[in-house]
Chains A and B, each alone.
Chain A
């Protein structure tokens, strides 16, 4: 079945530094990647949607200059949290979807990245 590999699974960084999270679709081509943030005991909140080769579309309230998303290929998308602050500490999850002719193959989620900013 479809597999999405997300790395790292956890990361601790100092305030002011940047952190990059990678998401790879291992056995399919992801036409669209979604990035979510999840705070403890809360639901998944969509941050942005990216299509391969295009600029990401950010949800209202999400700072695009702070959360840089790159989707340079059909198998790799990255989220970079720039100038991280303690309030950016959260669980970040990617999701990949692919579409064929007249068909949507659903969504496959990565295993998540626990970011702690100290």
Chain B
């Protein structure tokens, strides 16, 4: 089955700096890669996603890049703000895999003032 690795597990940045979180996946049949933000005691919220036919997608301060050859994708947050502090999860979905998402292990992002 699919295996998704995520790094780093914790990330501390100064307000205004950029944050990058990286994920790798194992199954080349994966075709959809969402990123979720989870605040304490809440369910995950989709912040951005990318499909396998696209290399990059941007939404204001958030961007995701996908390298299918290397089987990795990254989340980029620019001009970080304290409210960006949360746990971020990457995920991957395999075509024909029952539409199941396989999640990475999560990154605790802390934006310091």
Q: Which residues of A contact B (CB under 8 A)?
A: 6, 32, 34, 42-44, 46, 49, 57, 91, 93, 95, 97, 99, 104, 106-112, 114
Contact = CB atoms under 8 A, between A and B. Distances in A.
B43 A112 contact: yes
B44 A43 contact: no
28 contacts: A6-B43, A34-B100, A42-B105, A43-B103, A43-B104, A43-B106, A44-B44, A44-B103, A46-B101, A46-B102, A49-B98, A49-B99, A49-B100, A93-B43, A99-B99, A104-B99, A106-B34, A106-B46, A106-B49, A107-B46, A107-B101, A108-B46, A109-B36, A109-B43, A111-B43, A112-B41, A112-B43, A114-B41
Given A44-B103, A93-B44, A57 B98 contact: yes
Given A43-B89, A43-B105, A49-B100, A110 B34 contact: no
A78 to B, nearest CB: 17
Interface of B: 32, 34, 36, 41-46, 49, 89, 98-106
User: A49, A93, A107, A111 — which one has the most chain B CB atoms within 10 A of its CB?
Assistant: A107
Contacts of A34: 100-101
Contacts of A91: 41
Contacts of A106: 34, 46, 49
B32 A104 contact: yes
